[in-house]
Amino acid sequence: ETGVTQTPRHLVMGMTNKKSLKCEQHLGHNAMYWYKQSAKKPLELMFVYNFKEQTENNSVPSRFSPECPNSSHLFLHLHTLQPEDSALYLCASSQTFKSYGGGYNEQFFGPGTRLTVL
Amino acid sequence: AQTVTQSQPEMSVQEAETVTLSCTYDTSESNYYLFWYKQPPSRQMILVIRQEAYKQQNATENRFSVNFQKAAKSFSLKISDSQLGDTAMYFCAFLGDKIIFGKGTRLHILP
């Protein structure tokens, strides 16, 4: 496989369940991102990892817990979610979070996980 | 706070026509990056074009070009000779101190 892959593609869970979303990139990148895409709302950046270190956490509720064991893998652990957390969760990667000169590298996105919380 | 506004929720144009998608943003930063991303119905988002704020020359990628007006904080995307495969959601993104995406414009190319 190439590019950025995400599993599962679809997930339905109850509010008391615990589940995890997985993202894997095969591009040799060092930065990985989680985004939330809700209907009729802007894409929201949730977390950024650069060289396995979390560099951004945009006030995301603690029921979302990211994990980045290495530069190729990123997880989003979910527990006690709410129905309003139902959305498409997108993973992305880039060479680094910011380039040496301070600029931004292109992000490559995965196909997303469609999450439904009942 | 930075904001990105895409004022056209949905647009339709005939194949081969030219279409312009608008994007305005608000920031106090002087150095930042702007991107247009395309998300086809299959959902995988891909980069269309990027613009560095310090560059005055408008970016161009084949049929895609931007009109970057830094003073007006405007970053529109022009698609020339539109094709059926251009049907998608298009997102404008601001990357500076924060990464901010617009709500998107759904573009339909009609045969």
Kindly report which listed range (A100-109, B85-94, B100-109) carries the lowest average pLDDT score: A100-109
Q: How many CB atoms lie within 10 A of CB A20?
A: 14
> Which structure tokens are listed for A80?
């006690």
- For B33, the closest of A56, A104, A112 (CB atoms) is A104
A43-68 confidence digits (pLDDT tens): 999 999 999 998 888 889 999 999 99
For the cut 80, the answer to whether the pLDDT of residue B85 exceeds it is yes
B15-53 confidence digits (pLDDT tens): 999 999 999 999 998 889 999 999 998 768 999 999 999
Task: Please tell me the distance from the alpha carbon of residue B36 to that of residue B48, in angstroms, as a whole number.
Answer: 5
> Cβ contact (<8 Å) for A104 and B95?
yes
A75 CB within 8 Å of a chain B CB: no
Residues of chain A with C-beta less than 8 angstroms from the C-beta of B42: 111
Task: Please tell me the distance from the alpha carbon of residue A74 to that of residue A94, in angstroms, as a whole number.
Answer: 13
Work out the minimum CA distance from B46 to partner chain A, whole angstroms.
7
> Which structure tokens are listed for B4?
């990105």
Beta bridge partners of A90: A35
- For residue B1, give Cα distances in angstroms to B28, B29, B97: 8, 10, 10
| Residue B2 confidence (pLDDT) | 79
Query: pLDDT class for A41, splitting at 50, 70, 90?
Result: confident
As to burial, measured by CB atoms within 10 angstroms (0-12 exposed, 13-18 middle, 19+ buried), residue B11 is middle
> Cβ contact (<8 Å) for B103 and A110?
no
